[in-house]
C-alpha cells in the first residue's frame, strides 16, 4: 500500500520558526519531522509515498533529492492554500491502481502499528478508517465537591474523549466524496460517518502533533530521551 502525506500547510503557529520553512521540514534531532514520519511507515514495510506539496514545496522536494533512504516518493504540487480534502483529491491519478491506501498529516508522529492499522481496515470493509487517540488537556484540571472543597488536582491529564489522530486508511471510493476545495475533516467525514462508512482504530500509545514552537521543544526533549515514536 502507498502512503499519502499531506504536507502542504504553513506553520503559522510556529511563529518565526515556521515562517521561512515548510512545517514538514521543522527539525527534531537534526532531521525533519517528515523524515521521522517516513521512517515509521518504512519500519512496517511501507516505502511508496505520495507527497501533497504546497507552501515552499520545492524545499521538501529538494531535501528528499539527497535523503531518499530507498523510499519511492512521488511529489505533487497540490496548491498553495488548498484544503486537506482538495489536496487528496488532486493526487487521485497517483492512486488509480490502489484499492486502499494510507493517508496522514506531515506534522504528527505516533507509535501506531501501521500493519495492524491496515489489517483492521481490510477486515471491516468500510470506506475509511481513522486512528482515534486520547488528547491531553492543555490545562490542569480541578475536581471540586459541591461545597467547593477541592478533591483532586490533575496537571494536564489525558482526557477520556477520542480525537482524530491522523493515520487514516481509505478505500479508493473516498474520491467520490471529495472535491477540489473541500476540507477532508468536514463534509466528507461527516457524510461517511453518517452512512456508517467510517471505523475508528483506537490507539492508546504515543501520539503528538507539532502545532507550536512549544511542541517542537517538547519533541526535541523526547528525542533526547526514549523518543516513543522511534520504532525503527
- Residue 18: the pLDDT is 65
Q: What is the pLDDT of residues 163-220, one digit of tens each?
A: 999 999 999 999 999 999 999 999 999 999 999 999 999 999 999 999 899 999 999 9
pLDDT tens digit string along 91-140?
999 999 999 999 999 999 999 999 999 999 999 999 999 999 998 776 78
If one counts the domains in the chain, the total is 1
Which pLDDT score is estimated for 200?
98
Q: Which domain holds residue 60?
A: 3-132+162-223
Bridge partners (DSSP) listed for residue 144? 150
Q: How confident is the model at residue 162 (pLDDT cuts 50, 70, 90)?
A: very high
- The answer to the question of residue 68 being in a domain is yes
Strands, E assignment, the chain: 3-7, 27-28, 31-32, 48-53, 72-77, 100-105, 108-110, 128-133, 141-144, 150-154, 163-164, 168-171, 198-202, 207-209
For residue 157, pLDDT over 80 is answered with: no
Exposed/middle/buried for 121, CB within 10 Å: 0-12, 13-18, 19+? buried
pLDDT band at 89 (very low <50, low <70, confident <90, very high): very high
Q: What pTM did the predictor assign? A: 0.91
194 alpha-carbon distance from chain centroid: 23
Residue 138 lies in a domain: no
The per-residue pLDDT for range 53-78, each reduced to its tens digit, is 999 999 999 999 988 889 999 999 99
Residue 205 lies in a domain: yes
Query: 77 lies in a domain?
Result: yes
User: Is there a domain that residue 195 lies in?
Assistant: yes
Strand (E) or helix (H) holding 89: helix 84-89
131: left (phi over 0), alpha (psi -120 to 50) or beta: beta
Tell me the mean pLDDT in the region 151-164: 80
pLDDT(52) > 70 = yes
d(CA 213, CA 216): 5
Rounded Cα distance between 188 and 194, Å, is 10
Whether residue 141 is contained in a domain is answered as no
CATH number, residue 204:
3.90.550.10
65 inside domain: yes
- Please check whether residue 70 lies inside any domain of the structure: yes
Note the pLDDT tens digit of each residue in 2-44.
999 999 887 776 777 667 889 999 999 999 999 999 999 999 9
d(CA 8, CA 23): 8
Amino acid at each position: 500500500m502507498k502512503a499519502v502525506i499531506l504536507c502542504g500547510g504553513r506553520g503559522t503557529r510556529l511563529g518565526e520558526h515556521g515562517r521561512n520553512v515548510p512545517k514538514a521540514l521543522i527539525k527534531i534531532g537534526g532531521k525533519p519531522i517528515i523524515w521521522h514520519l517516513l521512517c515509521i511507515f518504512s519500519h512496517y514495510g511501507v516505502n511508496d509515498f505520495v507527497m501533497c506539496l504546497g507552501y515552499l514545496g520545492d524545499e521538501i522536494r529538494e531535501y528528499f533529492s539527497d535523503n531518499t533512504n530507498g523510499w519511492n516518493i512521488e511529489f505533487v504540487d497540490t496548491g498553495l492554500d488548498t484544503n486537506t480534502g482538495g489536496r487528496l483529491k488532486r493526487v487521485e491519478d497517483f492512486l488509480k491502481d490502489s484499492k486502499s491506501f494510507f493517508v496522514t498529516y506531515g506534522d504528527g508522529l505516533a507509535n501506531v502499528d501501521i500493519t495492524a492499522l491496515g489489517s483492521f481496515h481490510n477486515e471491516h470493509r468500510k470506506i475509511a478508517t481513522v486512528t482515534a487517540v486520547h488528547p491531553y488537556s492543555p490545562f490542569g484540571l480541578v475536581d471540586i465537591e459541591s461545597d467547593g472543597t477541592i478533591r483532586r488536582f490533575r496537571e494536564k491529564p489525558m482526557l477520556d474523549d477520542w480525537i482524530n489522530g491522523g493515520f487514516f486508511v481509505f478505500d479508493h471510493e473516498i474520491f467520490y466524496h471529495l472535491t477540489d476545495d473541500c476540507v477532508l475533516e468536514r463534509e466528507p467525514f461527516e457524510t461517511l460517518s453518517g452512512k456508517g462508512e467510517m471505523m475508528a482504530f483506537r490507539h492508546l500509545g504515543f501520539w503528538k502533533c507539532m502545532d507550536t514552537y512549544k511542541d517542537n521543544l517538547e519533541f526535541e526533549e523526547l528525542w533526547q530521551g526514549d523518543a516513543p515514536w522511534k520504532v525503527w
